[in-house]
Structure 1
Amino acid sequence: MEWDWAFVLEILPTLWDGFKITILATVLGSIVAAVVGLVMALLRRSPNPWIGRTSGFLIDFIRGTPLLVQLYFLFYILPGLGLTLSPLTAGVIGLGVHYGTYAAEVYRGGIDNVPRGQWEAAKACNLTPRQTWINVILPQAIPPMIPALANYLIAMFKETPLLSAITVIELMNQARSIANFNYRYVEPMTMVGVFFLVISLISVVGLRYLERRFGRLS
Structure 2
Amino acid sequence: MEWDWQYSSDVLPDLLRGLRYTLTATLLGYVIAVTLGLVWALLRRTPNVVVAQAVRWATEFIRCTPLIPQLFFVYYVLPAWGLTIGSLTAGIITLGVHYSTYTAEVYRAGIADVPRGQWEAATALNLPRSRVWLDVILPQAVRRVIPTLGNYLIAMFKDSPLLLVINVTELLNTAYREGAESLRFLEPITMVGLLFVLISVPASIFVRRLEKRYAAH
TM-score range relative to shorter protein? over 0.9
Query: Offset at 1:124?
Result: 2.0
CA offset digits 1:130-159 (Å, max 9, x no partner): 111110100111011011111111110000
How do residues 78-89 of structure 1 correspond to structure 2 at under 5 angstroms? Answer: 78-89=78-89
SS in 2 for 1:27: helix
Q: Tell me what 1:11 maps to.
A: 11
Query: Offset at 1:204?
Result: 1.3
How do residues 112-151 of structure 1 correspond to structure 2 at under 5 angstroms? Answer: 112-151=112-151
User: Distance in 1 between the 2:80 and 2:128 partners?
Assistant: 45
The number of equivalent residue pairs is 217
User: Distance in 2 between the 1:133 and 1:88 partners?
Assistant: 35
Query: What residue ranges of structure 2 are gaps of 5+ in the alignment?
Result: none
Q: Tell me what 2:166 maps to.
A: 166
How do residues 1-218 of structure 1 correspond to structure 2 at under 5 angstroms? Answer: 1-215=1-215, 217=216
User: Distance in 2 between the 1:58 and 1:150 partners?
Assistant: 24
User: Distance in 2 between the 1:120 and 1:214 partners?
Assistant: 24
SS in 2 for 1:84: coil
Query: Offset at 1:126?
Result: 2.2
State the one-letter code of the partner of 1:182: S
User: Distance in 1 between the 2:116 and 2:196 partners?
Assistant: 43
SS in 2 for 1:201: helix
State the one-letter code of the partner of 1:67: L
CA offset digits 1:183-210 (Å, max 9, x no partner): 1100000001001111111111111101
SS in 2 for 1:11: helix
User: Distance in 1 between the 2:13 and 2:206 partners?
Assistant: 27
Identical amino acids, percent of aligned pairs: 52
SS in 1 for 2:194: helix
CA offset digits 1:104-148 (Å, max 9, x no partner): 000000001111221121122222111111101001110110111
SS in 2 for 1:168: coil
SS in 2 for 1:169: coil
User: Distance in 2 between the 1:126 and 1:88 partners?
Assistant: 47
SS in 1 for 2:83: coil
Deviating 4+ runs (over 3 angstroms): none
User: Distance in 1 between the 2:176 and 2:129 partners?
Assistant: 52
State the one-letter code of the partner of 1:3: W
RMSD over aligned Cα, in angstroms? 0.8
User: Distance in 2 between the 1:124 and 1:86 partners?
Assistant: 51
Query: Offset at 1:59?
Result: 1.2
CA offset digits 1:78-105 (Å, max 9, x no partner): 0001111111110011100111000000
State the one-letter code of the partner of 2:186: V
State the one-letter code of the partner of 1:82: G
State the one-letter code of the partner of 2:113: N
User: Distance in 1 between the 2:29 and 2:127 partners?
Assistant: 34
TM-score (norm 1): 0.97
